[in-house]
Amino acid sequence: MKIKSALCAIISTGILSACTLNVYAYDDMSANLQHIIDYYNNGYFYEMLDEISWARQMDLSPEDIGILDQWEEIGVYCASNVNAIYTEFGRAQSYCDQGLYYEASAVLDNIAATYSLTQAQWGVWSAKKADANAGIEKWGARSSAELNRYLGTHYVEINYAIDVGSVTESSITFSLSATRSDGMRTADTDLITARLSGRSGSFDYIDSRGNRGTGTISLGNGYIVVNINYTRYADWYMEYNNVTFYV
């Protein structure tokens, strides 16, 4: 969850110089505050919290204590989320390395929606988002030229291990999995139930990548044929090459 808006603004914009402090008869914590800010700007959040604890041992003005309270809240938030943020950055990079640019972009969008990032983290985010967007544009240009090759009905013939002649139910339940034609992306459907009329039936489906379609299923002598008709694309062409039946 993002930190409250006032602190979010501080985290996002950063504080690059020490605040003016009331020192008077109190100890001067200017050096400590500069260390706190330096640790924050460099992503050393645990060291930042240690410096805050050290500064609290001094004889401080109420204003100085308020400044430390604010920085401590920021430090606790950043320290508690830094590993999760960089784990997600790593996941986005892994997707980019595999050519899964839509997935990378979705991960980055979720990071931005979930966390309050520091300036340094926004720099990492922006670089990875640019890579993901460039990949999406590249695949988009390719897919627009390739899709017309694959529109229509596609067939998957499965040699079924049991005697499908024994299937007498009014429906058959199965799921589909697919691999994109370049082998780099997969999709799966939830369980699909096809209503049977005699030895054949029809069904609708939507897969995990948002591709929608319809299809028919035919029960042969020792085999099952699934005919898949794509009706809407959310992704580049997916070749459904595996069917799992539940009878």
pLDDT at 123: 93
> What confidence tier does 40 reach under pLDDT thresholds 50, 70, 90?
very high
Instruction: Look up residue 119 and give its DSSP letter.
Output: H
Read off φ and ψ for residue 221, nearest 5 degrees.
-90, 90
The answer as to whether 148 is a domain residue is no
Q: Which residue has tokens 């979010």?
A: 8
Residue partners of 209: CB distance under 8 A and separation at least 6: 185, 187, 234, 235, 238
127 is in which domain, residue-wise? 5-142
- Across 52-56, 94-98, 142-146, least confident range: 142-146
SS3 of residue 54 by DSSP: helix
Cα 162 to Cα 151: distance, rounded to the nearest angstrom:
32
The most confident of 7-11, 87-91, 167-171, 187-191, by mean pLDDT: 87-91
Total number of domains in the chain: 2
With 0-12 CB in 10 A as exposed, 13-18 as middle and 19+ as buried, what is 65? middle
Read off φ and ψ for residue 201, nearest 5 degrees.
-165, 180
Average pLDDT of the residues in 44-64: 91
Of the residues 113, 142, 171, the one at which a domain ends: 142
Please check the confidence at residue 56 and state whether its pLDDT lies above 60: yes
CATH of residue 199? 2.60.40
Mean per-residue pLDDT of the chain: 71
Cβ atoms of 187 and 103 closer than 8 Å: no
Please check the confidence at residue 57 and state whether its pLDDT lies above 60: yes
Of the residues 107, 142, 177, the one at which a domain ends: 142
Please check the confidence at residue 50 and state whether its pLDDT lies above 90: yes
47 lies in the same domain as 136: yes
Q: Could you tell me where the DSSP H helices lie in 101-236?
A: 101-114, 119-146
> What confidence tier does 158 reach under pLDDT thresholds 50, 70, 90?
very low
138 lies in the same domain as 158: no
SS3 of residue 219 by DSSP: strand
- Across 109-113, 164-168, 176-180, 214-218, least confident range: 164-168
Tell me the per-residue pLDDT of 61-82, one tens digit each, with 9 for 90 and over: 889 899 999 999 999 999 999 9
Tell me the per-residue pLDDT of 82-121, one tens digit each, with 9 for 90 and over: 999 999 999 999 988 887 888 888 899 999 999 999 989 9
The answer as to whether 236 is a domain residue is yes
Of the residues 90, 119, 142, the one at which a domain ends: 142
